[in-house]
Structure 1
């Protein structure tokens, strides 16, 4: 493969990967304005974030089989069309309930891009290049939450929140054209794949019954719902409670992303010394200590803006370390059902995340404490799940060096 073609593929796959985070984070600075325009509360607007997470969670399970059955480009085309139309609808919406519904539809559309980009990495690149390609896509995925709210903050302040959805619509159009023109047909449709619910469900159940899968998928997803809690609560906390403006909020959000991305990069250095297992255990212990201190401070009203930012920064750093390791150990046992396993893992993570962000919409009003309480509970539950689940794993499949899967008794 020529370098030029390689760069072109990475750019297109990267833009497919970036669509999700941009759709989640770019409109966050506009929460107060959306609430004013649609005569509702910021907490109610945050429900549009939960509906988006539910949409991605359902979409993950839907597109996996469709991409295998019809090839990559047709489902991707349909999904992006849905996304473009829903984004346009969001820009013209006049009431909060339609907005929440349109965000759900927008998520179902954007999911095609996320799932297709992962599947096409497997199709298009030789096995030895796959980890390198994924780390490049992870970089895009990491930069998106830093860029999106910062851009969103400026757009919202200067042009209003409606413009954010026009920008997302044009991004959708550009990505649709790039993927249809620039991506090869990387996969022949497999007509033997049944789209009847029964075989699909039985395939998912087979994955779920694997002790290593459910232990690490649930540990990772429950711990990770702390991140969803923070994302959903952050507009309320920074803009309503600490009264920062949309631009400043965008910069705070970008700064927080540095912690999550930085620690996940640090993770690859630490893996030379420690096993994934030890990293998850260590990260969860630290996360538990941080969340207890955070909770005590918030209950005693000892937190100002800077203290809150500092505590969140450390909390997100712990997640950046545990998340790649739980994902790796969740996927390790599956050479054959990797697609179903990855879709199921994503669905569990986003499903639990949407529950956490719904809780934010209900409980987080005028204090930081409810957010911190939700984060503390998720951390402790994740730790308990890890320690109970580990007892059921008879043969542990480890991630060896060079990503070869090794079985440890």
Structure 2
């Protein structure tokens, strides 16, 4: 923690949480906003479905790769410069997407978007731990999780509205506008939270040593898996929403909001309870409660889908309850990841985000297309991804304080 933290931010704590949450939302929001316009973009620029899929893969690949470096750079040059440069490049790339007239340019600018968007989520986590002691950091992380969890669900609705009413170019102009607002806000408000005595020397040998220490640490890897993989048990349904909601549950596009509303409510409720429990119960107990909720609801969801045809009146609730359990435990696990290497919190956040991003990309590109046409397949895949998180936590639990 920065010893001068109390002098760096004098506004209410929720205001800093909101600023950091907006940074964290930028990545997942820009992943999903343009998905409703896939077909329209393809027709407009003469792209095939496979080529359009490359625009998503390029973004996710760039996001995952650069997540390895955003935090490490912030450990050396400071949190503020990395955030400002990341937002600036994202804003220019968004404008490039809006102006693209053929698929090659769109793929390129989507890759640049992905490479820059991760700076917000990676650095914002490090800022929280720079500024607050453990219990307070958990409360702020929970507030950030509330906002962060909203992004993947709200983004398709915003993108669909813009596409239908203004056209696909407006989606990327909207992201450009978001980038401008975020840059101005952070330029004016975000303090430098990395204390000068905590800066790491910027050289290849030091970076490689840090990556090796993290990559060869079973405790770090298991904690990163415990926090990142279960998210995909819920994210899988978001990625598969058009098929899951339209074909399986027979909902019209105008009724899709029920799914997103319930899922968002679950995330917000879990994150709120997580913040309320901070300092009141042991972190390990809170993580256990979150995983127990996810285990029970995942098994119930799988059994129901195996026994009965999926119907909207019951099939949406298990996902919302799962989201509650995930949001209850993930702020605590994330702080444990950062505190494993307090001298390299930025790099730890980078590595954790990279693992999560690679998992998201694999689910989006491989798992979702394989299982989306079966409700049993979706429930089984969700349960298996949650199980990876459970086993990772059970392995690491006796080895963390």
Smaller-chain TM-score bracket: 0.7 to 0.9
Q: What per-residue deviation string (whole Å, max 9, x for no partner) do you get for residues 230-274 of structure 1? A: 232223322455565555435532331111221222234456665
Equivalent residue in structure 2 for 1:62, among 66, 69, 75: 69
In the alignment, structure 1 segments of 5+ residues that lack a partner are 398-409
Q: Hey, what does 1:313 align to over in structure 2? A: 320
Q: In the alignment, does 2:223 pair up with 1:219?
A: no
Q: Hey, what does 2:210 align to over in structure 1? A: 203
Q: What per-residue deviation string (whole Å, max 9, x for no partner) do you get for residues 363-397 of structure 1? A: 14533333323212212233333334446x2xx32
Q: Hey, what does 2:161 align to over in structure 1? A: 154
Q: Hey, what does 2:117 align to over in structure 1? A: 110
Q: Hey, what does 1:347 align to over in structure 2? A: 354
Instruction: Work out whether residues 98 and 170 of structure 2, in 8 Å CA contact, stay in contact via their aligned partners in 1.
Output: yes
CA distance in 1, matches of 2:304, 2:106: 36
Q: Hey, what does 1:406 align to over in structure 2? A: none
Q: Hey, what does 1:405 align to over in structure 2? A: none
Q: In the alignment, does 2:363 pair up with 1:356?
A: yes
Q: Hey, what does 2:202 align to over in structure 1? A: 194
SS in structure 2 at match of 1:337: helix
Note the 1:34-73 alignment, pairs <5 A.
Answer: 34=41, 37=44, 40-41=48-49, 48-73=55-80
Instruction: Work out whether residues 236 and 365 of structure 1, in 8 Å CA contact, stay in contact via their aligned partners in 2.
Output: yes
Q: In the alignment, does 2:34 pair up with 1:27?
A: yes
Q: Hey, what does 1:176 align to over in structure 2? A: 183
* Corresponding pairs, count: 391
Note the 1:244-283 alignment, pairs <5 A.
Answer: 244=251, 246-250=253-257, 252-269=259-276, 274-283=281-290
Q: What per-residue deviation string (whole Å, max 9, x for no partner) do you get for residues 328-348 of structure 1? A: 333343332322222222222
In the alignment, structure 2 segments of 5+ residues that lack a partner are 1-6
TM-score, normalised with respect to structure 1: 0.79
C-alpha distance 371-99 of structure 1, shift in aligned 2 (>3 A) = farther
TM-score, normalised with respect to structure 2: 0.80
CA distance in 1, matches of 2:73, 2:294: 38
Q: Which stretch of structure 1 is more off in the superposition, 319-328 or 298-307? A: 298-307
CA distance in 2, matches of 1:319, 1:180: 32
CA distance in 1, matches of 2:107, 2:323: 27
C-alpha distance 18-155 of structure 1, shift in aligned 2 (>3 A) = same
Instruction: Work out whether residues 222 and 378 of structure 1, in 8 Å CA contact, stay in contact via their aligned partners in 2.
Output: yes
Q: Hey, what does 2:235 align to over in structure 1? A: 228
Q: Hey, what does 1:387 align to over in structure 2? A: 394
Q: What per-residue deviation string (whole Å, max 9, x for no partner) do you get for residues 174-233 of structure 1? A: 22233334445555889962241x431321222344443233222222222323322322
Equivalent residue in structure 2 for 1:165, among 165, 172, 186: 172
Q: Hey, what does 2:4 align to over in structure 1? A: none
CA distance in 1, matches of 2:289, 2:345: 27
CA distance in 2, matches of 1:356, 1:102: 22
Q: What per-residue deviation string (whole Å, max 9, x for no partner) do you get for residues 155-190 of structure 1? A: 233223331111001111222233334445555889
Q: In the alignment, does 2:331 pair up with 1:324?
A: yes
Q: Hey, what does 1:372 align to over in structure 2? A: 379
Instruction: Work out whether residues 263 and 318 of structure 1, in 8 Å CA contact, stay in contact via their aligned partners in 2.
Output: yes
